[in-house]
Amino acid sequence: MTFDELDGRMRVFETAHDLCVLPGLHMAARLDGRGFTRLTKEGHRFEAPFDERFRDLMLATAEYLMTGCGFGVAYGYAQSDEISLLFAPDENGFGRKLRKLHSVLAGEASAKFSLLLGAVAAFDCRVSQLPSAEQVVDHFR
């Protein structure tokens, strides 16, 4: 058996449950800092309730996700330890596969923030599929 044959046979176990965002639906991602309460209070002692250094790390990470990852992002918003992104209507990265969007965005955000901080930090990611502009507005409220 060749490698290509084996690869084709095994890949079905990875992709059998791929879910994709349908064309015409708006995609909005929300990235959330994992364990950031501990990171900000114990590990790096950022000032509560607002720390300019932490804000700058979050904004730089959001900017990177918007401009440096190869996705078409129309709007971004950062608050506390969360980053929200609205993808351009024609964004088709990774065929709009949710598992790829989740893992790539979480990985990119985690890597960028960690490099800026000089310590390990992690984000998780969820992508919302929104059928109307009104729901997009509500998502960012």
Q: What is the pLDDT of residue 16?
A: 67
83 SS3 class? strand
Q: By the 8 A CB rule, do 28 and 82 touch? A: no
What residues have CB less than 8 Å from 119, skipping those under 6 apart? 39, 43, 44
Q: Could you tell me the residue ranges of all domains in the chain?
A: 21-140
Second-level CATH architecture of 21-140? 2-Layer Sandwich (3.30)
**pLDDT tens readout for residues 22-76:** 999 999 999 999 999 888 888 788 888 789 999 999 999 999 999 999 999 999 9
Residues near 118 by beta carbon (within 8 Å), at least 6 away in sequence: none
User: Has this prediction a pTM greater than 0.85?
Assistant: yes
Tell me the average pLDDT across 97-126: 97
Could you say which DSSP state residue 120 is in? -
Spatial distance between the Cα atoms of 81 and 100, rounded to a whole number of angstroms: 22
pLDDT value of residue 45: 83
The contacts found for 41-50 with CB under 8 angstroms, 24 or more apart, are: 43/119, 44/117, 44/119
How far apart CA 21 and CA 127 sit, in angstroms, is 9
Residue in this structure with the two tokens 């209070």, named with its chain if needed: 41
